[in-house]
A and B are shown apart, each in its own frame.
Chain A
Amino acid sequence: MFKPYFNQLVIREKLLFMQLSVLAIGMLIVFVATVTYQYISYQRELMQDLHAQMALIENNVGSAIAFDDSLAAGEILQSLSTNPSVDQAYIVLNNHTRFAGYDADKLNVGNQTSSASNSDIHLQQTITVNNQQVGVLYLNANVHRVNARIQVFALALFFAVMFAMLLARVVSKRINQILTEPITYLESLVTNVTKFNNYSQRSTIQSEDEIGALSVGINSMLDNIKMRDDKLVEELKHRIVVERKLDQLAYYDSQTKLPNRHAFTEHINQATGKNRAHFYLLMLDLDFFKVVNDTHGHEAGDQLLAQCGQRLRRILDEDDTVFRIGGDEFAIVLNAVTTIRDVEKICQRIIHAISQKFLINGQEIAIGTSIGIAQSSSGGSESNLIKNADVAMYWAKSAGKNTYKFYSEEIERANFHHQKLTTDLQTALKNEQFELYYQPIIHVQTSKIIGFEALLRWLHPVEGMISPNVFIPIAENTGAITTIGSWVIKQALAQLSRWQATYHPSLFMNVNISARQFFDKRVIDIVREALQETEVAPATVHFEVTESMLMEDVEKAVDMLTQLRELGTAIAIDDFGTGHSSMSYLKQFPVDTIKIDKSFVRGLPVDSVDTAIVEAIFALAKSLKLDVVAEGVETVQQLDCLKHKHCSKVQGYLFSEPVSAEKIESYLAKSSKLAHH
Chain B
Amino acid sequence: MGVTQPGAAGSVDERDMKAALIYNFSVYTTWPEDTAKAFHVCTFEDDQDNLNEQLLERKTINGKPVHVTHIRQLDELKNCQVLFVEDTTKAHDRRLFDLVKKYSVLLVDTAQNPTQTGMIQIELVDKRYHFVIHHQAVKEANLMLSSKLLRLAARVY
Residue positions of A touching B, CB distance < 8 A = 59-60, 62-64, 66-69, 72, 94-95, 129-130, 132-134
Contact = CB atoms under 8 A, between A and B. Distances in A.
Contact of B152 (A67, A95, A134): A67
Contact of B148 (A62, A94, A133): A62
B151 A72 contact: yes
A60 B150 CA distance: 11
B24 A134 contact: no
B4 to A, nearest CB: 8
B2 A95 contact: no
Nearest to A71: B152
A63 B148 contact: yes
B1 interface: yes
Contact of B146 (A63, A69, A95, A133): A63
A interface: dominant SS: mixed
B149 interface: yes
Contact of A130 (B6, B21, B61, B131): B61
A64 to B, nearest CB: 6
B74 interface: no
B7 interface: yes
B interface: dominant SS: mixed
A63 B149 contact: yes
B156 to A, nearest CB: 14
Contacts of B1: 94, 132-133
Contact of A60 (B21, B27, B61, B148): B148
A72 B152 contact: yes
Interface of B: 1-3, 5-7, 21, 24, 27-28, 60-61, 131, 146, 148-149, 151-152
A95 B148 contact: no
Nearest to B8: A68
14 contacts: A60-B148, A60-B151, A63-B146, A63-B149, A64-B148, A66-B27, A66-B28, A67-B131, A68-B5, A72-B151, A94-B1, A130-B3, A130-B61, A132-B2
Most chain A Cβ neighbours within 10 Å, of B6, B27, B61, B148: B148
Most chain B Cβ neighbours within 10 Å, of A59, A67, A94, A134: A67
Contacts of B148: 59-60, 62-64
A542 B21 CA distance: 205
Nearest to B60: A130
B60 to A, nearest CB: 8
Nearest to A69: B152
B3 A64 contact: no
A64 B6 CA distance: 10
A66 B3 contact: yes
Contact of B24 (A66, A72, A95): A66
B152 A129 contact: no
B6 A66 contact: yes
Given A94-B1, A132-B1, A67 B6 contact: yes
A134 B3 contact: yes
A130 B152 contact: no
Nearest to B148: A63
Nearest to B7: A68
Nearest to A72: B152
Most chain A Cβ neighbours within 10 Å, of B7, B21, B24: B24
A482 B150 CA distance: 184
Nearest to B63: A131
8 smallest beta-carbon distances between A and B, as pairs: A68-B6, A63-B148, A66-B24, A130-B27, A67-B152, A69-B152, A132-B3, A63-B152
A73 to B, nearest CB: 10
Nearest to A73: B152
A246 to B, nearest CB: 128
Contacts of A66: 3, 6, 24, 27-28
Contact of B27 (A72, A95, A129): A129
Nearest to A61: B148
A298 B131 CA distance: 168
Given A63-B28, A66-B24, A129 B3 contact: yes
A75 to B, nearest CB: 9
A254 B138 CA distance: 153
Contacts of A62: 148
B122 to A, nearest CB: 11
Contacts of A59: 148
Nearest to A129: B27
A192 to B, nearest CB: 92
Contacts of A68: 5-7
Nearest to A62: B148
B5 to A, nearest CB: 7
A492 to B, nearest CB: 188
A327 B148 CA distance: 151
A68 B61 CA distance: 19
Contacts of B131: 67
